[in-house]
């Protein structure tokens, strides 16, 4: 079976902003569509997402955020080159790299490349007669990753109601994905109603479906979520723990860490102390981006005294980039990596970064973006790649539930086991 046709076009993401889709038609008439996500608190080292700046495309209505140039790149440059080829991800990704060999894929756009790369992977799984998850792991039980789920949102996703971006929960004691999800939904419901009773809900549902409740400080937000877990009779620590995404690059100016809601400033050294206190005072099992994306020293310094069971997770630090991960491993800056396909640009090289991390005993957390679509390929990649965790935002919004529901589907129809990474 070969690729008969490939069409790129602009669609909308969960924020109502333009993003890219590709529909690929195979010689057997089957149709495979892939849609790409888009971040808001993006790392500066991410692959380049092409947005229209050329006056030819930049219409006033989308405020420079349209992706018509990337659409043209797919339809005029990529499609003619791939037509007639068999859908083999490694080979077609190789052709995409030939067409745009720049490390950040700024010529054709990482969004254009990823949309095509994903559509080809879907077509390859179809050709093999198996699910996308199974395509990456043909034999044995699939591993359903542990969900890391957003309860409270702040930072760039919630009008900066909190300085840190997410307070999440990790159902580390759950024995199945279905059980994990039931606990999480209960925690989120209770957090919403307790927040409303206290009169502190801003009525804001944030970009990833989390609650945008305003708290005077980070400690209060963490105590609030811990209280919700306890009120439900769940054992804090043994069954459910906290995770946070500090997204520190959002408030680090290169010299100072500035917590605006508390009107406090920290040097890099002082902020290592602040974060250390935070993880020692609360039941936190995972901390993401506690320091700036180029403040490597703060990361390695923190790691020296961090609790041994703490997951120290690099998102903006690594940007799913092989060279940055290599440096992080060598300098012992973290022990886990967030994997976002659109930070990288290609399915196979994203997979390769994840495999390097696994080979170096790093935990891997496959992640959605704050701007998502109803596409659910992320659930299949996370499962087929044996990632230990998956981060999709909250349990609200079809862009989020599409992934959770696909994991429930995989757990029901495939032979699976549930990841217990902690
Ligand atoms: P983004 O945020 O998709 O807006 O970059 C997600 C994250 O920081 O994990
Ligand atoms: Zn992050």
Question: Are 148 and 77 part of one and the same domain?
Answer: no
Alpha-carbon torsion (390, 40, 157, 36), positive or negative: negative
Cβ of 247 below 6 Å from ligand 1 = yes
Lowest mean pLDDT among 67-81, 155-169, 217-231, 244-258: 155-169
135 within domain boundaries: no
Question: 255 and 397 share a domain?
Answer: yes
Give residue 86 CA to ligand 1 midpoint distance, Å.
Answer: 34
As annotated, the active-site residues are 208, 340
The CB of 41 under 6 Å from ligand 1? The reply is yes
Higher pLDDT, 95 or 159: 95
Does 270 share its domain with 387?
yes
Total Cβ atoms within 10 A of residue 307:
11
Query: Quick check: is 137 in a domain?
Result: no
Does residue 393 share a domain with residue 288? Answer: yes
Query: pLDDT band for position 33 (50/70/90)?
Result: very high
Q: The pTM is what?
A: 0.97
CA of 289 to the centre of ligand 1 (A): 11
Nearest one of 340, 348, 349 to 46, comparing CA atoms: 340
User: CATH number, domain at 60?
Assistant: 3.30.390.10
What is the token pair recorded at 119? 């559509």
Residue 160: per-residue pLDDT: 78
Is 134 among the domain residues?
A: no
Q: Are residues 90 and 151 in the same domain?
A: no
For residue 373, what is the domain's CATH number?
Answer: 3.20.20.120
Least confident of 53-67, 175-189, 400-414: 53-67
Q: Percentage of the chain with pLDDT > 70?
A: 98
Domain that holds residue 91: 3-129
Q: What is the pLDDT of residue 159?
A: 78
Res 156 pLDDT > 90? no
Q: Is the minimum distance from the CB of 40 to ligand 1 under 6 angstroms? A: yes
Give the ranges where 63-143 is alpha helix by DSSP (H). Answer: 68-72, 79-82, 89-99, 110-128, 132-136
Q: What's the mean per-residue pLDDT of the chain?
A: 95
**Mean of the pLDDT values across residues 51-67?**
84
Pocket flag, ligand 1, residue 380 (CB < 6 Å): no
Lowest mean pLDDT among 158-167, 320-329, 361-370, 388-397: 158-167
49 and 105 share a domain? Answer: yes
């Amino acid at each position: 079976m070969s690729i008969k046709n490939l069409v790129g076009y602009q669609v909308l993401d969960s924020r109502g902003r333009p993003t890219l889709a590709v529909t690929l038609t195979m010689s057997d008439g089957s149709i495979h569509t892939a849609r790409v996500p888009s971040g808001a608190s993006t790392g500066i080292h991410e692959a380049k997402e092409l947005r229209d700046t050329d006056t030819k495309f930049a219409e006033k209505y989308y405020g420079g955020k349209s992706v018509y140039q990337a659409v043209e790149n797919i339809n005029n440059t990529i499609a003619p080159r791939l037509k007639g080829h068999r859908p083999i991800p490694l080979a077609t990704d190789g052709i995409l790299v030939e067409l745009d060999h720049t490390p950040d894929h700024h010529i054709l756009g990482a969004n254009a490349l990823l949309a095509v790369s994903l559509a080809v992977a879907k077509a390859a799984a179809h050709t093999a007669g198996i699910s996308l998850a199974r395509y990456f792991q043909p034999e044995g039980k699939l591993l359903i990753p542990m969900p890391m789920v957003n309860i409270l949102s702040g930072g760039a996703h919630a009008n900066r109601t909190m300085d840190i971006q997410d307070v999440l929960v990790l159902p580390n004691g759950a024995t199945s994905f279905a059980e994990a999800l039931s606990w999480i939904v209960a925690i989120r419901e209770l957090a919403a109603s307790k927040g409303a009773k206290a009169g502190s809900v801003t009525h804001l549902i944030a970009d990833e479906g989390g609650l945008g409740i305003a708290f005077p400080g980070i400690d209060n937000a963490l105590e609030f979520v811990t209280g919700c877990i306890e009120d439900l009779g769940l054992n804090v620590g043994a069954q459910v723990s906290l995770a946070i995404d500090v997204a520190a690059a959002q408030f680090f100016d290169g010299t100072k860490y500035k917590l605006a809601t508390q009107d406090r400033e920290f040097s890099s050294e002082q902020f290592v102390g602040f974060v250390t206190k935070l993880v020692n005072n609360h039941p936190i099992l995972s901390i993401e981006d506690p320091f700036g994306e180029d403040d490597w020293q703060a990361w390695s310094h923190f790691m020296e005294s961090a609790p041994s069971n703490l997951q120290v997770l690099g998102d903006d630090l690594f940007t799913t980039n092989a060279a940055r991960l290599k440096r992080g491993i060598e300098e012992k800056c973290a022990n886990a990596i967030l994997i976002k396909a659109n930070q990288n640009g290609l399915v196979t090289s994203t997979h390769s970064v994840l495999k390097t991390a696994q080979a170096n005993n790093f935990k891997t957390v496959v992640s959605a973006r704050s701007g998502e679509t109803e596409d659910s390929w992320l659930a299949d990649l996370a499962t087929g790649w044996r990632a230990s965790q998956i981060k999709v935002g909250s349990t609200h919004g079809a862009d989020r539930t599409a992934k959770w529901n696909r994991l429930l589907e995989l757990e029901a129809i495939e032979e699976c086991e549930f990841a217990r990474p902690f």
